[in-house]
Structure 1
Amino acid sequence: MSMHDYPYYRAALANHRLPAAFIDLDHFAINLEHLRLRAGNLPIRLVTKSVRSVEMIHRIMSAGPFMRGLLCYSVGEAAWLASEGFNDIVVAYPSVEPTEIRMAATQIRNGRSITLMVDCVEQVIQINRIAVAEGVVIPLAIDLDMSSAFPGIYFGVHRSPVDDVSTAIKLGREIAGRKSVVLQGLMGYEGQVAGLMDDVPGEAIKSSVIRYLKRKSIIEVNARRQAVVEALKKDGHRLRFVNGGGTGSFESTRQDPSVTELAAGSGLYAPTLFDHYRGFKLLPAAGFALPVTRIPKGGVVTCSGGGYIASGPIGKNRLPQPWLPAGCSLIDNESAGEVQTPIRHSGVTTPAIGDPILFRHAKAGELCERFNELLLIQDGRVIDSVRTYRGERKSFF
């Protein structure tokens, strides 16, 4: 799966402190180009939670005009990134935290574009109240639920109570009835299509069922999004953008003519939860290296650190996975630990004390919550390091 092997990374990391997180810029560039090609003629809004590094966000946004705007996970994060020079920012999740909304209002007053997400009138009322006090008009977007309810199966995620034309129109009118907020966009994220692997080795039946449910869901939710967009426009709303999709659903989201932009972030770092999609393949571009500090017995080495578990439903697929050298695996009854991680090795390479063991995280940006910096590897060496949000002393949740 990887273009680069263990000796390549071991040599690149030889004189650097471990544990360390890194980005393989060669693989990163290939993944970015694949996203561009998969997006077709639609621009891509960058999902910042999957990147969590200002310098990496700058690098991505400078790749070309196909990258257009940011999709943030926190209002405070959006305000901070606006203060760092970014513009055209949409916050993907609702918030009524007054301190953060006032921060966003300050940036709007300074000429930055920040759009806040809503899915109920209570959110609209509180945002409008702060906007009035701050003397600004705050742009809003409606979060349209894109889950599918099949007989006996809820196929999707629990996001928004706005799930049809009538609920969207009702909320749109609540926004239009207030002077300090304005409806500018709609987001319809089909998480059950974008975020579920559908070609997992050893899970042929489950993967087949997921692909079947995806096909059914795509038809339904694309029609739902189109109907809501058309109804909002007929009701007098001028939508600046209609956002949809994620790394795993570019092809199906593009089928919806109402969508004006796609969203992606995980497809750049390529964590393990994006390894097994039938429609596309990514190259591992982000990882972390742990040093071997013990050799308790033959076939087992123990590394410092490593307990970087991903959010979501509890399961082995949320664990970081030993990547290189080949033949390494976690030990079930210890797994990835708080201060040490033992692994079994059965490959041709026998790790020695001080050698790095390379791991991949299950999710993209969450890795950055564990490290202050990312080492940038290119042409077999570390050419630079960039700070993560953590390294900037920023924590938003």
Structure 2
Amino acid sequence: MLPPRLVDALAGTDVPAPAAVLDLAALRANAAALDGRAGGLPVRVATKSVRCRWVLTELGAERLMTYSAAESVWLARHGWDDVLLAYPTADAATLTEITADPALRERITVMVDHPAHLGLLRAAGAGPHRPVRVCLDLDASLRLGPVRLGVRRSSVRTPAQAAAAARRVAATPGVELVGVMCYDAQVAGVPDASLPERVVKAVSTAELRRRRPALVAAVREVVDVPLVNVGGTGSLHLYGRSAEVTEVTAGSGLLGPTLFDGYRAFRPAPALFLVSPVVRRPAPRVATVFSTGFTASGPASATRLPSPVHPPGLRLTGTEGAGEVQTPVVGDAAGALRIGDLVWFRPAKSGEQLERVTTVHVVDDGALVASVPTYRGEGMSFG
């Protein structure tokens, strides 16, 4: 149920819609809970789940995990000095910018998992006098015979492959291997509401407890890397006693989108909402809301749609769902809605939704305390 303090804070205000609303108390509570679950390990904030510099600053985030090379440069130039680019890039212009600037080379670590990535860095100017820091991405997916569970990321899966990849990096002039990443998407990013989900997560966790230390050890026999990054919102509590791990990552757990409602170990408080006014009343129990059809990435399904949460009792229609320009909602509560009334939605994912709006309206202690720009609001888009 939507806290009344949020509804009251926006009552009578002229907020352009669709708009994003941030419950600051819920954000702070989620951040504290994630820190507590991390078992003493530092938590790196995944910026793709936030996409708002004000929120990153409010969280006191010192370590960032970015999703774009250009985003990494932008944040490094705005004061962040520990930026881990989580995905390999083919952005030659931005790699050249990083390579040419000593401050950027010091602040940004670039992800690699293929020899071609090293070639791109060399072509961008990396060399003995322009060393670029890199992190080696390791495959953490679960493979059961021909079945692969988890995201398709790195091809570096076995200790032998990890050692060979580390040797390739070490032999490349101007490329400095400083860390490894091993992201368990099939554990961190999958709810555990059903028995099959719980079984897969348990099996994968056990498999990684055996394989991950061997992978890290194989790399460290070549280069004694100081950084070992693992985990996500749904798994960071698993690594506090893992001797080889130096930090964990979290992002979605800060804002609590609906895709994280099915987690048993941790259910973040909803902190981000979308609001938009009713613009049509096509039938007695139907109200049409402007826009809000910000569908989240992933397998196409109803779980990727925003969910109406206020007034209570609303639901999307099966034939239209949530739309780019209009979203019909139905139910008994729709009959009481008037044109101009605000309807509140929870997004399925968090950061992706903020690509669609320019401003986040921050509510604290029942009052609208700030309106701050998203990446898009600052004229930046890295998707």
Give the TM-score of the pair, scaled to structure 1. Answer: 0.92
What are the Cα deviations for residues 343-381 of structure 1, in whole angstroms up to 9, with x where unaligned? 013249922221110011111100111001100011222
| Alignment check: 8 A CA contact 2:285 2:333 kept | no
What are the Cα deviations for residues 221-248 of structure 1, in whole angstroms up to 9, with x where unaligned? 132211011122122x121210000001
1:303 and 2:294 correspond: no
Provide the secondary structure at the position in 2 that maps to 1:248: coil
What are the Cα deviations for residues 162-196 of structure 1, in whole angstroms up to 9, with x where unaligned? 11111111111111112200100000000000001
Change in CA separation of 1:46 and 1:8 when aligned onto 2, cut-off 3 Å: closer
The more displaced of 339-348 and 220-229 is: 339-348
| Alignment check: 8 A CA contact 2:231 2:248 kept | yes
Aligned match of 1:323: 309
What is the distance in 2 between the residues matched to 1:302 and 1:134? 61
| Alignment check: 8 A CA contact 1:44 1:68 kept | no
What amino acid is aligned across from residue 171 of structure 1 in structure 2? A
Kindly state the Cα deviation for residue 133 of structure 1 after the two structures are TM-superposed.
Answer: 6.6
Aligned match of 1:375: 361
What is the distance in 1 between the residues matched to 2:356 and 2:104? 33
Change in CA separation of 1:133 and 1:217 when aligned onto 2, cut-off 3 Å: closer
Aligned match of 2:215: 228
Change in CA separation of 1:194 and 1:291 when aligned onto 2, cut-off 3 Å: same
What amino acid is aligned across from residue 19 of structure 2 in structure 1? A
Aligned match of 1:132: 126
What amino acid is aligned across from residue 277 of structure 1 in structure 2? Y
| Alignment check: 8 A CA contact 1:96 1:127 kept | no
What is the distance in 2 between the residues matched to 1:52 and 1:120? 28
What is the distance in 2 between the residues matched to 1:229 and 1:8? 46
1:294 and 2:280 correspond: yes
| Alignment check: 8 A CA contact 1:109 1:136 kept | no
| Alignment check: 8 A CA contact 1:12 1:380 kept | no
Provide the secondary structure at the position in 2 that maps to 1:132: coil
Aligned match of 1:264: 250
What is the distance in 2 between the residues matched to 1:374 and 1:195? 25
1:123 to 112, 117, 120: 117
Kindly state the Cα deviation for residue 219 of structure 1 after the two structures are TM-superposed.
Answer: 1.0
Percent identity over paired residues: 37
Aligned match of 1:190: 184
The more displaced of 307-316 and 108-117 is: 108-117
Aligned match of 2:10: 12
What are structure 1's unaligned runs of at least 5 residues?
200-206
What amino acid is aligned across from residue 52 of structure 2 in structure 1? S
Kindly state the Cα deviation for residue 279 of structure 1 after the two structures are TM-superposed.
Answer: 0.7
1:72 and 2:66 correspond: yes
What is the distance in 2 between the residues matched to 1:140 and 1:289? 41
| Alignment check: 8 A CA contact 1:117 1:143 kept | yes
Change in CA separation of 1:108 and 1:276 when aligned onto 2, cut-off 3 Å: farther
Provide the secondary structure at the position in 1 that maps to 2:63: strand
What is the distance in 1 between the residues matched to 2:297 and 2:351? 11
What amino acid is aligned across from residue 12 of structure 1 in structure 2? L
Provide the secondary structure at the position in 2 that maps to 1:247: coil
Kindly state the Cα deviation for residue 296 of structure 1 after the two structures are TM-superposed.
Answer: 1.4
What is the distance in 1 between the residues matched to 2:206 and 2:362? 41
Aligned residues: 382
1:216 and 2:203 correspond: yes
Kindly state the Cα deviation for residue 80 of structure 1 after the two structures are TM-superposed.
Answer: 0.8
| Alignment check: 8 A CA contact 1:51 1:57 kept | yes
Provide the secondary structure at the position in 1 that maps to 2:292: coil
**Runs ≥4 in structure 1, deviation > 3 angstroms?**
106-112, 131-135
Provide the secondary structure at the position in 2 that maps to 1:173: helix
How does 1:15-54 map onto structure 2 within 5 Å?
Answer: 15=13, 16-54=15-53
Change in CA separation of 1:170 and 1:221 when aligned onto 2, cut-off 3 Å: same
How does 1:103-252 map onto structure 2 within 5 Å?
Answer: 103-109=97-103, 112-132=106-126, 135-151=129-145, 153-199=147-193, 207-235=194-222, 237-252=223-238
Kindly state the Cα deviation for residue 68 of structure 1 after the two structures are TM-superposed.
Answer: 4.0
Provide the secondary structure at the position in 1 that maps to 2:126: helix
Provide the secondary structure at the position in 2 that maps to 1:162: coil
Kindly state the Cα deviation for residue 105 of structure 1 after the two structures are TM-superposed.
Answer: 2.3
What is the distance in 1 between the residues matched to 2:349 and 2:303? 10
Aligned match of 2:266: 280
How does 1:330-345 map onto structure 2 within 5 Å?
Answer: 330-345=316-331
What are the Cα deviations for residues 313-359 of structure 1, in whole angstroms up to 9, with x where unaligned? 11000111111111010011011112111101324992222111001
| Alignment check: 8 A CA contact 2:230 2:247 kept | yes
